[in-house]
Amino acid sequence: MTSSSHHRRTRIVATLGPASSSPEMILSLAQAGVNVFRLNFSHGAHEDHGERHAAIRAAEEKVGHPLAILADLQGPKLRVGVFENGPVVLEEGKPFRLDLDRTPGTISRVCLPHPEIISAAKPGSHLLLDDGKLKLRVVTVGEGFLETVVVIGGKLSERKGVNVPDVTLPIPALTEKDRRDFDFALSLGVDFVALSFVQRPEDVQEARDIADGRAAIVTKLEKPQAMENLEAIVRLSDAIMVARGDLGVELPPEEVPVAQKRAIAEARKQCRPVIVATQMLESMIESPTPTRAEVSDVSNAVYDGADAVMLSAESAAGKYPLEAVSMMVRIAERVEQDHEWRIRMDRLRPVPDETVQCAIVQAAWQVSRTLHAGVIASHTRGGGGAMRMARERPHCPIIALTPELDVARRLCIVWGTFPHVVDREQTAHGIEDLAGPAAELARSMNFCRAGDRVLVLAGLPYGHSGSTNTLRVVTA
């Protein structure tokens, strides 16, 4: 496979759905700039996801560079039961009971078929209903019921979602449905599996054990408890997603931007890719153009150095999936041309670890800047060398050369990195054997012109993960 000549640093994740499932549309989205395709297992049958997976792989062959596939698991969905006579209107200050009785609800009570919530709640705990539109405060905890008072009232329909922001619930992050979906996604050969509603580091470890290296684990940050355990959760994850929808329900709205910046900084510190997601261009579900506020939101994520920005319903079910991707590309490219963006990328560089690998990539960052290098070519077997280089946010793009197709696909989510699969015969043991072909490839991929400087990074002897120890400057 050859790589794209498109040099935008920020990666784009697009969700597939009814509006974007045809092979023709998937190919068009890939050509427009999508790097990672998301399969949302909250919707659609396994057969649907299998067909989309096949169409992505077919598009990958046509565009001529790796594309990654992310399977997003639904996670535990907590919902109230049904009502006897349709929706009810809860009035502020009035009592309302939640219990395990499956009898249809009334104006004064409804079934909450989740004993875990009832057992974990305490007087003073809050429950949010219907994406936070309604708010209840627990007054009394009884055997199989909660007596609450309505803090924020409104219409409540059956099967609306329940969020419990200030309680760690004793429920697993993986439901039985998730486990079936997880197995199916692994059987397809997806590159990433995303976990929903993670609360504890143990949730991530369980998924890692199931994946057993067959897919990288993306942890979605959408619970306050995950933010409280952020450092440990990031360490166990292969990538992070700031899922601002549910996070914005359980946190006060003004806390979400702070949480987003904190998550991006921690992920970059630990050399983990980070995706910013949810409602980024929401109005483009119905409109061919976004609001100015949405453009500013996407721009802000790019200025913060996020590895990727994500489209959800905009590309899955909206009227303008291709336009939404094109707009995301235009926003990212414009920000990346701004001098202030470059200053921020340099200023936010994390303190290096005291390792040979980090010292080499720090040196590569400085040398590439001093020599105005056209590209950094990183020979990487497991992807770690390229990811460490990307953490520095260098002034030139990174070509990640690897003999492993699955590694190349996983690098599709990494900032500024353009993965390219090389033949195993090209992975020689001396830097001289690697430098010339790397410079030639950089020219053929339009990353530089004849006479430009190319930096070559490798671990020698070649073939050992995590062994980057050599930097060579060559002329293209």
Active-site residues, by number, are: 38, 79, 220, 278
- Burial of 93 from C-beta contacts in 10 A (0-12 / 13-18 / 19+): exposed
Helix (H) or strand (E) holding 219: strand 216-221
CA distances from 310 to 24, 36, 127, 314, 440 (A): 21, 9, 29, 10, 33
Q: State residue 254 phi and psi, 5-degree precision.
A: -70, -15
In angstroms, the CA 154 to CA 90 distance is 5
Contact 68, 400 (CB under 8 A): no
Cα 222 to its chain centre, rounded Å, is 12
Check residue 272 and report its DSSP letter. Answer: -
Can you state the angle between helices 384-391 and 356-370, rounded to 10 degrees?
Answer: 50
C-beta atoms surrounding 468 within 10 Å: 27
C-alpha to C-alpha distances, 275 to 44, 100, 226, 311, 395, nearest whole angstrom? 23, 38, 16, 11, 21
Those residues whose C-beta lies under 8 Å from the C-beta of residue 202, and which sit 6 or more positions away, are: none
Q: Which residues contact 56 (CB under 8 A, 6 or more apart)?
A: 26, 30, 37, 67, 69
**DSSP-assigned states of every residue in 387-428:** HHHHHT--SS-EEEEES-HHHHHHGGGSTTEEEEE--GGG--
What are the C-alpha distances in Å from 174 to residues 50, 182, 202, 292, 472? Answer: 21, 9, 11, 38, 46
Tokens of 264: 């991006």
